[in-house]
Amino acid sequence: MSWDHRVPPSAPLALEALMRCRQLVDLLTSGRNRASSCQDDHVRQDIEALIAYLEGRRDKLDAELQEAVQADV
Protein backbone atom coordinates (compact mmCIF):
# COMPACT_ATOMS: atom_id res chain seq x y z
CA MET A 1 0.00 0.00 0.00
CA SER A 2 1.41 3.40 -0.96
CA TRP A 3 1.10 6.65 0.91
CA ASP A 4 -0.89 9.42 -0.77
CA HIS A 5 1.26 12.56 -0.57
CA ARG A 6 -1.31 14.98 -1.99
CA VAL A 7 -2.12 17.97 0.17
CA PRO A 8 -5.82 18.24 1.03
CA PRO A 9 -7.45 21.31 -0.53
CA SER A 10 -8.14 22.90 2.84
CA ALA A 11 -4.61 22.39 4.21
CA PRO A 12 -3.32 25.87 3.27
CA LEU A 13 -6.41 27.44 4.83
CA ALA A 14 -6.02 25.34 7.95
CA LEU A 15 -2.37 26.33 8.25
CA GLU A 16 -3.24 30.00 7.84
CA ALA A 17 -5.95 29.67 10.50
CA LEU A 18 -3.47 28.01 12.85
CA MET A 19 -0.96 30.80 12.35
CA ARG A 20 -3.58 33.49 12.93
CA CYS A 21 -4.83 31.64 15.99
CA ARG A 22 -1.30 31.53 17.38
CA GLN A 23 -0.95 35.28 16.83
CA LEU A 24 -4.24 35.87 18.65
CA VAL A 25 -3.10 33.73 21.58
CA ASP A 26 0.07 35.83 21.81
CA LEU A 27 -1.96 39.05 21.71
CA LEU A 28 -4.32 37.69 24.37
CA THR A 29 -1.42 36.84 26.64
CA SER A 30 0.05 40.32 26.23
CA GLY A 31 -3.32 41.95 26.82
CA ARG A 32 -3.99 39.94 29.95
CA ASN A 33 -0.54 40.81 31.30
CA ARG A 34 -1.15 44.50 30.64
CA ALA A 35 -4.62 44.40 32.17
CA SER A 36 -3.37 42.77 35.34
CA SER A 37 -0.70 45.43 35.88
CA CYS A 38 -2.73 48.43 34.72
CA GLN A 39 -3.45 51.03 37.40
CA ASP A 40 -5.94 53.13 35.41
CA ASP A 41 -9.48 51.69 35.48
CA HIS A 42 -10.47 53.26 32.15
CA VAL A 43 -7.43 51.88 30.36
CA ARG A 44 -7.96 48.46 31.96
CA GLN A 45 -11.58 48.46 30.74
CA ASP A 46 -10.38 49.22 27.21
CA ILE A 47 -7.83 46.41 27.41
CA GLU A 48 -10.49 44.01 28.71
CA ALA A 49 -12.78 44.98 25.82
CA LEU A 50 -9.96 44.25 23.40
CA ILE A 51 -9.35 40.90 25.11
CA ALA A 52 -13.04 39.99 24.71
CA TYR A 53 -12.89 40.88 21.00
CA LEU A 54 -9.70 38.83 20.49
CA GLU A 55 -11.26 35.85 22.29
CA GLY A 56 -14.21 36.01 19.90
CA ARG A 57 -11.88 36.09 16.89
CA ARG A 58 -9.90 33.17 18.30
CA ASP A 59 -13.09 31.16 18.79
CA LYS A 60 -14.18 31.93 15.22
CA LEU A 61 -10.82 30.80 13.87
CA ASP A 62 -11.04 27.62 15.93
CA ALA A 63 -14.44 26.90 14.38
CA GLU A 64 -13.08 27.55 10.87
CA LEU A 65 -10.19 25.22 11.54
CA GLN A 66 -12.53 22.50 12.82
CA GLU A 67 -14.64 22.83 9.66
CA ALA A 68 -11.56 22.56 7.44
CA VAL A 69 -10.38 19.43 9.24
CA GLN A 70 -13.83 17.84 9.10
CA ALA A 71 -14.08 18.60 5.38
CA ASP A 72 -10.95 16.52 4.75
CA VAL A 73 -11.99 13.52 6.83
Q: pLDDT tens for the chain, 73 residues: list them.
A: 555 556 566 667 677 778 888 899 999 999 999 999 999 999 999 999 999 999 999 999 888 888 877 876 5
What's the whole-model pTM score?
A: 0.74
Helix runs in the chain, H state only: 11-37, 41-71
Please check whether residue 27 lies inside any domain of the structure.
yes
DSSP state of 38: -
Q: Is residue 21 part of a domain?
A: yes
- Report the domain count for the chain: 1
Are 58 and 28 contacting, i.e. CB atoms less than 8 angstroms apart? yes
Residue-range definition of the domain harbouring residue 16: 11-71
